[in-house]
Structure 1
Amino acid sequence: MPYYETQFRTIDGTELHGRVYPAPGRGPGLVMCPGFNAVLTMLNLPECATRLQTHGITTLLYDPRNIGSSGGRLRNDIDPAQAVGDISDAVTHLMTLHSVDPKRVGILGISFGATAAVTAATADARARFTIAVAPLTDSNFISLAHRRKTLRLCMKDRESQVLGNMPHTVPVINQHGESEVGFGRGIEMEKYRALLRDGREIAPGFVNRVTLMTYYKLALWTPWPLWRLFGLASLDSAAQAALFVIPENDQMSLPEAQRRCFDELGYEGRCKKKILTVAGAGHEEVLGDMYLPEVIQNVVDFMQDTAASDSRSF
């Protein structure tokens, strides 16, 4: 089914670019959030949007600020808190679409995008549905020594920028297939190592670099305690709902940590929540063709069940 290109502005006037996959008729809608430094075509998100479209769900899939075709003052500079606010602005745009019932909107994110999606929903009661696919559960470096070294470099870079120099950038994955600054764990290094070695393009518009100050912002970002307040933003009890999709073999965001975050999600029962463990799936393949039918069916069932319990139907 077709999609069309779209643009919308954030609260500070930045123009973000993406795609709308409109459903045939008026119904629910989802904002889709890519992973860390990822463009919208990565991690099989377009196919995911197309499958949802066939179930009557409109999706808005966009390149995050400073990435891909979207605007932004500083290319490939990732500010998690700003990304959360941009999601709410994407929800605003989604609600204006003719194929979307503004009372039945939500957010679907994967990896870093899933973490940002849940965080956005804790403050934005318009998001009736939140689907978190393989959410990241910490923003740690592989050791305290790596954290200390990186933050020292960040302060040098900050000093340099104040004096008028350009921001320093670093590869997300270096030529050895490792995080340049020792951030995170278990990313599928072999996959990226082969692509980088062969000089192949990972995705159109993808740039394997971020600003060094991205890691400064990540080091200070700890949104997970806020997830305990999920549902509090809504005036109606249990008006917000969350589905966690956990890859069984996730090495980047450990499944037990994802389940712990799920267990702690929600304020005094003011949200509905469901968990799906995808057997055999890894972090970056959970929305791949092998597992996508199961995930899509669970997303559709979750949204239908949530709507039905609120006296609304698809």
Structure 2
Amino acid sequence: MPTPANQREVSFAVDGDKCAATLYLPPTPGTARPPVIVMAHGLGAVRAMRLPDYAERFTEAGYACLVFDYRHFGDSEGQPRQLLSSRKQRADWLAAIAFARTLPEVDADRVVAWGTSFGGGNAIITAASRPAGLVAAIAQCPFTDGVESTLVLNPVTSLKVTLAGLRDVVGTMFGRPPHMITTAGPAHSTALMTASDAEPGYLALVPPGVEFVNQVAARVVFDILRYRPGRRTGEIDVPILFAVCQTDSVAPAGPTLKYAHRAPHGEICTYVEGHFEIYLGDAFERAVADQVDFLDRHVPIAD
């Protein structure tokens, strides 16, 4: 299928590896260069998993979008595959924003960070880091506290993934390949997400025909436990929208709302749906409409 005229595949370098990305431009160019929304997904996910649907809505509203895959995932480079590192992902975000600002088609001084799920936590950290050009952020069903997210796991699952993580860490000391665990799986399985809606909801985001690996290197369990991006919300000095799912089985709403209220220029939209429902159907329509409204008020398209 040919690529639409307002889309093109691009890439940018991070520590010797290339991150693959898609640049979306408004279908009807205006007289001024548009703001650009830098977008990335969540835990082990790739950009093909519904992010094009958000990008298309944003471009229809007049914004450009740069949607990228993290290193080690999807179409991006990085060995070993399926290695999830919050430190590396934060570096990918900063590199993506720096790259976006070099694109001649966009306004380099009006960049928005947009992240969902684990990527929502990354967007929070990125906004708190105050990279040049960043003027707003959107964090959808964001991961904000590793301890709180770990507590929602069944104790049996917690024990299994911890042992798997230890096996992976020890294996790396002896030069072994990563020990993998499932990203989203059935209840009581050795998986990062095992709530009743996790496996069907996560895999429903994968478009037909897209090859997807539902696994990550097990060592990430220790990274997740230590990662608490919500603690940085008080440092964010740009407008940020928190789109919070009230029945979220992965990123509990309570801690997220607590952290969101600390953001000096934060706004909160809540949805009765769960973590995976916000990407689809009516929940998606309401969420993306709220996000376009936020963008229109804080990062308006020039006449």
- Do Structure 1 and Structure 2 share a fold, with TM-score over 0.5? yes
SS of the residue corresponding to residue 255 of structure 2 reads helix
2:121 aligned counterpart, secondary structure: helix
Using the alignment, how far apart are the partners of 2:262 and 2:82 within structure 1? 32
Q: CA deviation at 1:18?
A: 1.6
Preserved contact between residue 171 and residue 209 of structure 1 (Cα < 8 Å): yes
* 1:6 aligned partner: 10
Partners of 1:54 and 1:7 lie apart in 2 by 23
Q: Per-residue CA shift, 1:63-120, capped at 9, x if unaligned?
A: 1111111111210010012111211111111112222111110111111111111111
Which of 178, 184, 187 aligns to 2:187? It is: 178
Q: Determine if contact 1:172/1:179 at 8 Å carries over to the other structure.
A: no
| TM norm structure 1 | 0.82
Task: Using structure 2 for the length normalisation, give the TM-score.
Answer: 0.85
> What does residue 197 of structure 2 align with?
188
Say which of 290, 300, 312 aligns to 2:282.
290
Contact conserved, 1:172 with 1:180, CA < 8 A, in 2?
no
Task: Give the aligned CA root-mean-square deviation in angstroms.
Answer: 2.7
- The residue type equivalent to 1:32 in the other structure is M
What CA distance in whole angstroms lies between the structure 2 residues aligned with 1:115 and 1:153? Answer: 24
Residue 234 of structure 1: aligned partner: none
- List runs of 5+ in structure 2 lacking aligned partners: none
- Asked if 1:132 is matched to 2:167, the reply is no
Matches within 5 A, 1:1-314: 2-10=6-14, 12-23=15-26, 24-25=29-30, 26-42=33-49, 44-126=50-132, 127-139=134-146, 140-141=150-151, 142=153, 147=158, 150-174=161-185, 177-178=186-187, 180-181=189-190, 183=192, 186=195, 188-189=197-198, 191=200, 204-231=210-237, 240-265=238-263, 269=264, 272-278=265-271, 280-307=272-299, 313=302
User: Structure 1: 5+ residue runs without aligned partners?
Assistant: 232-239
Identify the range of structure 1 (91-100 vs 288-297) with the bigger mean alpha-carbon deviation: 288-297
TM superposition shift of 1:152: 4.5
1:235 corresponding residue in structure 2: none
State how many pairs are aligned.
289
- Pick closer, same or farther for the CA change 1:178–1:76 going to 2, 3 Å: farther
Does 131-140 or 1-10 show the bigger shift? Answer: 1-10
Q: Deviations for 1:227-276, whole angstroms, at most 9, x for unmatched residues? A: 22222xxxxxxxx11001122432322323221121123xxx4xx22111
Report % sequence identity. 24
Question: What SS does the aligned partner of 2:115 have?
Answer: strand
